[in-house]
């Protein structure tokens, strides 16, 4: 019996030692990364225009800019574009997640970063110091962004006004802070997407837009979003299911759903109550070209339908459904 207990004791000590070594390895482990390239992006008019378009598609304002959620779609607040935001724990995050100041301010933003460091952060999820970014930053989707497109996005970011606002450092709780080190991955060179193949190009746009980040991997929706002490919204089912998704939508209806929000961008979106609160970036996505929206529609139609009824605004019923599903102007 004593021999059995002695062996058991050795096993326990061995497991503790292994756990200690594993814990130490996780602590000192660095995320996989490649050295940033030495590229310096040229800000040509064409590149700036493409960069602005990608800025809207990637919804950079969504996390990095101050927004007014008293109005439909959370338009930009009068000041603070790209100045960053601190996301409260009440959102269910494992710690204090911070969307950094990504304006060109040298002291508090990324004005002192090289273009190569910015490209690496966008597509690979590694900051200037080699630390893994919290994957709320959708670098998994951005990793598919072509070289030319990421150059254009960086050129546009470089052209925006600097905002001096220092944000705190992201502090993620253990063990998530250790696990996220495995998320970044070197990307290498990424060719231009094949625009001649509508479905493939639609998939490319969906990856950059991060549709699956909010609507889940199979786009059945159900992800809950709320502001502390404020309204709640749930992401819709956008799979091609005919009963609970968007399977009955025609291509033209899909396009008009997005383009009909353009007046809100031009003239300002109206004050909105909790029955129409949404995290869906309608204002940014309204900038998308109709051909690109048709490509997105074509890709979504190839995905498996998922039958899942989603109440997008719990407690508001038909009133919320009308606000969300009906586009401005009653379309």
Q: Which residue has the tokens 């919204």?
A: 233
Of 259, 36, 236, whose CA–CA distance to 128 is shortest? 36
Let me know: does 303 contact 315? Beta carbons within 8 Å.
no
pLDDT of residue 27: 52
Instruction: Measure the CA angle with vertex 142, ends 136 and 147; round to 5°.
Output: 150
Give 285's contacts (C-beta < 8 A, 6+ positions apart): 56, 57, 59, 209, 258, 261
- Would you tell me how many other CB atoms lie within 10 Å of the CB of residue 197? 13
Q: How many helices (H) and strands (E) does the chain have?
A: 14, 5
Of 136, 19, 16, 45, whose CA–CA distance to 86 is shortest? 136
Mean pLDDT, the chain, integer: 88
Let me know: does 268 contact 71? Beta carbons within 8 Å.
yes
pLDDT of residue 232: 84
Let me know: does 95 contact 324? Beta carbons within 8 Å.
no
Token reading at 185: 């991955």
Let me know: does 157 contact 115? Beta carbons within 8 Å.
no
E-strand ranges in 58-212 read 85-87, 95-99, 171-172
Cα 162–chain centre separation: 22
Alpha-helical regions (H) of 79-225? 115-124, 139-142, 147-159, 176-179, 198-209, 211-215
The pTM of the full predicted model, rounded to 2 decimals, is: 0.88
For the chain, 331 residues long, give each residue's pLDDT as a single digit of tens. 444 333 434 344 444 343 343 445 455 678 888 999 999 999 999 999 999 999 999 999 999 999 998 999 999 987 889 999 999 887 888 999 999 999 999 999 999 999 999 999 999 999 999 999 999 999 999 999 999 999 999 999 999 999 999 999 999 999 999 999 999 999 999 999 999 999 999 999 999 999 999 999 999 999 988 877 777 889 999 999 999 999 999 999 999 999 999 999 999 999 988 888 899 999 999 999 999 999 999 999 999 999 999 999 887 765 555 444 444 433 3
Distance CA 328, CA 330 (A): 5
SS3 60: helix
Of 209, 181, 174, 234, whose CA–CA distance to 60 is shortest? 209
Give 177's contacts (C-beta < 8 A, 6+ positions apart): 95, 171
Distance CA 198, CA 221 (A): 24
Q: What is the pLDDT of residues 174-185, one digit of tens each?
A: 999 999 999 999
The enclosing H or E element of 211 equals helix 211-215
Of 76, 117, 16, 136, whose CA–CA distance to 269 is shortest? 76
């Amino acid at each position: 019996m004593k021999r059995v207990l002695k062996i058991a004791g050795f096993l326990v000590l061995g497991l503790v030692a292994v756990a200690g070594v594993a814990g130490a390895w996780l602590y000192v482990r660095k995320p996989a990364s490649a050295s940033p390239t030495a590229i310096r992006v040229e800000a040509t008019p064409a590149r700036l225009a493409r960069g602005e378009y990608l800025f809207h598609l990637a919804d950079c304002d969504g996390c990095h800019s101050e927004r007014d959620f008293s109005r439909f779609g959370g338009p930009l607040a009068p000041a603070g574009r790209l100045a960053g935001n601190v996301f409260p724990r009440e959102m269910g995050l494992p710690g204090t997640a911070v969307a950094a100041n990504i304006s060109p301010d040298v002291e508090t933003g990324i004005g002192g970063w090289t273009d190569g460091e910015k490209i690496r952060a966008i597509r690979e999820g590694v900051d200037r110091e080699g630390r893994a970014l919290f994957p709320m930053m959708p670098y998994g989707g951005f990793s598919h962004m072509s070289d030319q497109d990421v150059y254009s996005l960086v050129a546009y970011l470089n052209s925006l006004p600097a905002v001096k606002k220092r944000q705190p450092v992201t502090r993620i709780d253990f063990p998530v802070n250790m696990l996220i080190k495995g998320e970044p991955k070197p990307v290498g060179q990424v060719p231009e997407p094949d625009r001649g193949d509508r479905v493939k190009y639609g998939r490319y746009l969906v990856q950059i837009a991060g549709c699956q980040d909010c609507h889940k991997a199979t786009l059945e929706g159900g992800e809950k979003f709320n502001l502390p002490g404020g309204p709640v919204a749930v992401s819709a089912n956008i799979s091609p299911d005919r009963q609970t998704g968007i399977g009955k939508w025609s291509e033209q209806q899909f396009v008009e759903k997005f383009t009909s929000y353009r007046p809100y961008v031009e003239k300002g979106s109206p004050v909105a109550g909790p029955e129409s609160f949404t995290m869906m970036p309608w204002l940014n996505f309204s900038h998308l070209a109709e051909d690109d929206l048709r490509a997105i529609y074509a890709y979504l139609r190839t995905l498996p339908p998922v039958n899942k009824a989603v109440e997008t605004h719990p407690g508001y019923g038909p009133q919320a459904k009308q606000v969300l599903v009906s586009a401005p102007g009653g379309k």
